[in-house]
A and B are shown apart, each in its own frame.
Chain A
Amino acid sequence: MAAKKRVGRCRRGVGASDLAQMGVCERLVKFERHCGRRRTSDQLQAMDRGRRAHARFYLDRHDDGRSRDRCFVATLVFGEAPETRVLRRFRDQVMRPRPLGRGLIALYYRSGPKVCGFLERRPRLRPIVRWMLSGFASFAARWLEWQEHLHDQ
């Protein structure tokens, strides 16, 4: 996506990055019009780095600290279904009170948007993930039931 932005971006009017080049060197604008684009190897490397950074930036677009209550992958594959609620309860009641659980939650919230981005681009994988998560959700439901049973006793 970022690549589209950098290379020959517009047919209608001037592109923002083409115009920005006026702030670098006006002579370069004219050279590129007459001789085509030329890049040094350092510039090509920098462009490649920029493309990768933009791809990451796009995938991380929701990871801004405001969606911490969401269960990214479960919401993506189930929507607001009973499985999502069970997984959320498992996270809050079983994982959150324990240091290891909190660590895993933190790691999950850093990586969840990436996993979602990956799954969004590969819809065929979603049924497999749904099957695995529903298994995990039923395990979590049993665990929660067992905990409640212990609590009642």
Chain B
Amino acid sequence: MTSSALVAGLLAGICVAVGMLWLKRHRAGSPVLTLPRELRKARLLFAERLFTAAGQVAISARVDRAYRVASGAIVLLELKTRDIDRPYWSDVIELSAQRAAVELQTGEMVADHAYVTVQRPGGVEPSVHRVQLMPVSKVAALAARREAILSGKVSPSYARSAGVCRRCAFARSCEKISGKGGLHRTNATDVAPNAAHGSRPRQD
């Protein structure tokens, strides 16, 4: 063995040892995600990929991860960081929009369920929740309702959850506009009947 190779080997060993120690420390607050059974043997297709689609609904969505499962369908996985370990209705909407964008851009079949992985602070192992997604027609209807709200044709509903209002940067303006502090008065919506951040979506 040449002396140059010996020096390189020694340096590599030292670098590996230092790197591993650093990573061990660094990883202390980021426990490894355990994938749901369905995705363990699936192939990772996309990670942090942007999809845009114009058609039934003009939509763009960045997908955290998408896997190809044994059946050939694509299953989406979305990461959320929050204190409460549960998926919200907004997660279902976001994943449904992602599904629509992926389906419309690639023409491939995306499963009508997806997974939300919730990472809580404090180094707790992330949990994974399965959620049922909305059909593309409902995503399109929700996008149309949003446009109608923004153009002033439809009056927007309030959040149902008091927690959302407490944390909202517009809370004071909202009370002023509503004129009676009626933060929890809701307007019926046929698109998102449980349209509140704190509401729990249907899970399988």
* A-to-B contact residues, CB < 8 Å: 1-2, 4-5, 9-33, 35, 38-40, 42-43, 46, 49-50, 53-54, 56-58, 60-66, 104, 107-108, 110-111, 114-115, 131-136, 138-139, 142
Contact assessment for A61 and B44 in the assembled complex, using a CB-CB cutoff below 8 Å: yes
List, in ascending order, chain A residues with CB within 8 A of B60's CB.
9-16
Chain A min CB distance to B162 (Å): 12
Chain A min CB distance to B165 (Å): 8
- CB closest chain-B residue, reference A57: B79
Q: Given known contacts A53-B81, A58-B48, A135-B6, is B90 in contact with A20 (CB within 8 Å)?
A: yes
Interface hub of A25, A62, A107, A138 (most chain B Cβ within 10 A): A25
- CB closest chain-A residue, reference B91: A20
- Report if B202 contacts A (CB, 8 A): no
Contact assessment for B11 and A135 in the assembled complex, using a CB-CB cutoff below 8 Å: yes
List, in ascending order, chain A residues with CB within 8 A of B97's CB.
14-16, 19-20
Interface residues on B, range: 35 or more
What are 30 A-B interface contacts by the 8 Å CB criterion? Answer: A9-B60, A10-B60, A13-B143, A14-B143, A16-B97, A16-B101, A18-B146, A19-B143, A22-B90, A24-B88, A24-B196, A25-B158, A25-B165, A26-B189, A31-B170, A39-B169, A40-B168, A40-B169, A57-B64, A60-B32, A61-B44, A61-B65, A65-B40, A66-B40, A66-B41, A110-B27, A111-B27, A132-B9, A132-B11, A136-B13
Contact assessment for B168 and A138 in the assembled complex, using a CB-CB cutoff below 8 Å: no
Contact assessment for B196 and A23 in the assembled complex, using a CB-CB cutoff below 8 Å: yes
List, in ascending order, chain A residues with CB within 8 A of B196's CB.
23-25
Report the number of A-B residue pairs with Cβ-Cβ less than 8 Å: 217
Q: How far, in angstroms, from A12 to B19 measured CA to CA in the complex?
A: 43
List, in ascending order, chain B residues with CB within 8 A of A5's CB.
48, 62
Q: How far, in angstroms, from A66 to B42 measured CA to CA in the complex?
A: 9
List, in ascending order, chain B residues with CB within 8 A of A133's CB.
12
Q: Given known contacts A60-B33, A111-B19, A138-B5, is B12 in contact with A12 (CB within 8 Å)?
A: no
Contact bitstring B163-195, A, C-beta under 8 A = 1, else 0: 011011110011000000000000101011001
Q: How far, in angstroms, from A134 to B9 measured CA to CA in the complex?
A: 7
List, in ascending order, chain B residues with CB within 8 A of A31's CB.
170, 173-174
- Given known contacts A33-B150, A64-B35, A139-B6, what 8 new A-B pairs fall within 8 Å (CB)? A13-B54, A23-B197, A28-B170, A30-B149, A114-B23, A115-B19, A135-B7, A135-B12
Other-chain contact of A30, B98, B119, B150 (Cβ < 8 Å)? B150
Chain B min CB distance to A113 (Å): 10
Closest 4 CB pairs of A and B: A135-B8, A13-B58, A26-B156, A16-B61
Q: Which of B1-32 contact A (CB under 8 A)?
A: 1-2, 4-13, 15-16, 19-20, 23-24, 27, 30, 32
Q: How far, in angstroms, from A58 to B62 measured CA to CA in the complex?
A: 12
- Report if B135 contacts A (CB, 8 A): no
